[in-house]
Structure 1
Amino acid sequence: MTIRPVLAAVLWLAAVAPASGSFLERDGVRAFIDDVSSRQDFNAAELRGLFENVERQEAVLEAIAAPAEAMPWYRYRPIFITDPRIEGGIEFVRDNSDLLARAEREFGVPPEIVAAIIGVETFYGRHKGRHPVLDTLATLAFEYPPRSDFFRRELEQFLLLARDERIAPTSVKGSYAGAMGMPQFISSSYRHYAIDFDGDGRRDLWNSNADVIGSVAAYLADHGWSAGEPIVHRVRPSRDDWRELTSKSLKPRVDQSDLRAAGLGVEPPVGADERVHVFSLETEAEPEVWVGRGNFYAITRYNHSALYAMAVYQLAERIRRGVETEPAE
């Protein structure tokens, strides 16, 4: 019997009793500290003191077992495509027009896409997260077996980030998965993709709109964003051949001959060497069928979900139209 990943996580969570005592006594914590200290030149005693005060985050374990991306599209979309987020995005673009224009010149990413990602992630900085990142990552690294390897790597990256950026590790708060700042970068992304866009010598994703905007644009560019290229197309198939073109993988694998054989056409047409991703979104009626181009795939590298990328795209379109049509105050 195959259990869906989210269900498996729920069943696992229900079976785990909260552990008591010092977090240092959790299986693997001391070995992790010794390993990271030896490889990354940390003081092992200082790390043990830090982890001695880590508290297990029960709310984090519950939240990660039921992510929003597990919802059907018709329930996911209304969370993000709302009048307040659209109006907030229009305001964000206008208030940061020079920075967004500079980011577009340097990285090719349009202002509305950058704004929409920040809007989806934190409502333009209003909701940066309330969970202590050190405790969150430690909890997931040692008490969430489905993804413990990933979160142990992120925990190590967070310790390095705190050292590199001179941040007190116990002072940082973020999402239930340890994402931080206005754009909700995980630790590894922060270290490798965040940039100092305002030139003050720091990469501040909490308080510097310049660094936030530049970092989001740089991240998308590093993950394949192509300036001026299309993102995604709605198609209306006349038959069911399109279902054979769908895949659980988000990576574009479908070529122009496959699309043609299934009776799917998009404008501009798919190039001879181009690959696209065909997917459907669950509605309360018939499924919507879409064809994602390379730029759609770039958005999914920010969050590995077609629902997420579609929410960003649709919010961006509403922001763009609003900026173009509504007079500035």
Structure 2
Amino acid sequence: MAPKRPPLNALACLLSSSALALCLSASALAQSPAKARPASPAKAPAYSYAQSAAAMAFATDLAERRNLDPAWVRQQIGAAQRIPTVIRLMQPAPSGVPKNWAAYRARFIEPVRLRAGQRFWEANRETLARAETEFGVPASLIVGVIGVETLYGQHTGNFRVIDALTTLAFDFPASHPRAAARTEFFRSELEQFLSLTERTATDPLTYLGSYAGAMGWPQFMPSSWVKYAIDFDADGKVDLFNSQADVIGSVANYFKAFGWQPGMPTHYPVRFDPNQSREDFETLLAPDILPSFGVQSFTAKGAVLEGSALQHPGQLALVELQNAGAPSSYIAGTENFYVVTRYNWSSYYALAVIELGEAVKALVGER
């Protein structure tokens, strides 16, 4: 389960920086005193979590609970560096910025991603078919997720996972409305990550991922890797960086674990009867993406369905997708749409995944 990219060579970076500083010093000395430029202020050294009493206490506790070598755990967490960019990216979004489904969709349903998706599907046709058969999850959904997450492995992240997770575990922005809960989440993910790398005898300092610590083509957090990642190519290891078969099988396994129902649509077209009361409309919107209404109660409150949607056997949700200043778009989301949102708790994300997968499916000529 080797990471996709080799670790940064710290010694090489140090030597490179020293050589550059030496050249700049020589250049400054060659100038006359009157023309010499003022020295730039020294860059502050990176903050290492070996300096954090809270991080070191956590490391000791983790080692005891997980029966790991305390010195090893302290060494790994102590080697993590605080990344200001990670903290900044976790800041709450500015209030008042309107959501825009049309713009969001256009980021993912576009020619580059569609062509990459077509290549991925054609290269993995048999594996996708096997995953669909074994797990009941459509190949189009698997392809859509991988395309939205990392453009089929092209953008898996450049942050050291140990740095990202430790930064968010001990320096999560206090201004975030869920700071306490998110801090606990990232401490749990850091624990899962170190336990995973210890079990698989891999170096935690070599893993690269997103600013939140998500890894590989499907961007699994460590806990998801532990629970849902599988060895779908049967080579004796799970590798979400280099094995496309493991990526495909793991995404399918994830959705099955969250209750995917084979054969059920993810959503239906819907419109709202303009003669119905605003109160009924607000009642339908209140549960957001959680399916809460049977077809009879859904339509009784003014939602207009047609065709097969009228025979849907389960619950539905009226899902609103805002379009900035333009009228919102709406769909009737099923239990399967809600399952897709368990990958990323966003209706915009879920519908982009679904529509990208369907668009790629049309390109490869699948029925």
Q: Shorter-chain TM-score: which interval? A: 0.7 to 0.9
Secondary structure at the aligned position of 2:364 is classed as: helix
Within-5 A mapping of 1:200-211: 200-211=235-246
Residues 60, 74 of structure 2: 8 Å contact kept: no
Give distance in 1, aligned partners of 2:142 and 2:50.
Answer: 40
- Choose the corresponding residue for 1:237, options 256, 272, 288: 272
Could you say if the C-alpha distance between residues 272 and 86 of structure 1 is closer, same or farther in structure 2, counting changes exceeding 3 Å? closer
- Choose the corresponding residue for 1:169, options 167, 182, 204: 204
The answer to whether the aligner puts 1:109 opposite 2:137 as a matched pair is yes
Give distance in 2, aligned partners of 1:315 and 1:200.
Answer: 30
Could you say if the C-alpha distance between residues 310 and 257 of structure 1 is closer, same or farther in structure 2, counting changes exceeding 3 Å? same
- Larger CA Rg, structure 1 vs 2: 2
The answer to whether the aligner puts 1:320 opposite 2:361 as a matched pair is yes
User: Shift of the alpha carbon at 1:51?
Assistant: 2.2
**Amino acid aligned to 1:179:** A
> For residue 298 of structure 1, what is the aligned residue in structure 2?
339
User: Shift of the alpha carbon at 1:73?
Assistant: 1.9
1:143-183 C-alpha deviation (Å, 9 max, x unpaired): 00511011000000111111222221000000111100000
Could you say if the C-alpha distance between residues 293 and 272 of structure 1 is closer, same or farther in structure 2, counting changes exceeding 3 Å? closer
Within-5 A mapping of 1:1-329: 21-26=47-52, 28-65=54-91, 71-144=99-172, 145=174, 146=179, 147-239=182-274, 240=278, 241-247=280-286, 249-264=288-303, 265-269=305-309, 274-283=314-323, 284-324=325-365
Could you say if the C-alpha distance between residues 105 and 37 of structure 1 is closer, same or farther in structure 2, counting changes exceeding 3 Å? same
Identical columns (%): 39
Give distance in 2, aligned partners of 1:142 and 1:19.
Answer: 18
Give distance in 1, aligned partners of 2:227 and 2:83.
Answer: 27
Give distance in 2, aligned partners of 1:152 and 1:70.
Answer: 32
Residues 247, 279 of structure 1: 8 Å contact kept: no
Deviates more, 1:211-220 or 1:60-69: 60-69
> For residue 11 of structure 1, what is the aligned residue in structure 2?
none
Q: Which runs of 5+ in 1 are unaligned?
A: 1-17
Secondary structure at the aligned position of 2:272 is classed as: coil
**Amino acid aligned to 1:48:** R
Could you say if the C-alpha distance between residues 270 and 221 of structure 1 is closer, same or farther in structure 2, counting changes exceeding 3 Å? farther
**Amino acid aligned to 1:269:** A
Instruction: Calculate the aligned-residue CA RMSD, in Å.
Output: 2.4
Residues 27, 142 of structure 1: 8 Å contact kept: no
Could you say if the C-alpha distance between residues 20 and 131 of structure 1 is closer, same or farther in structure 2, counting changes exceeding 3 Å? closer
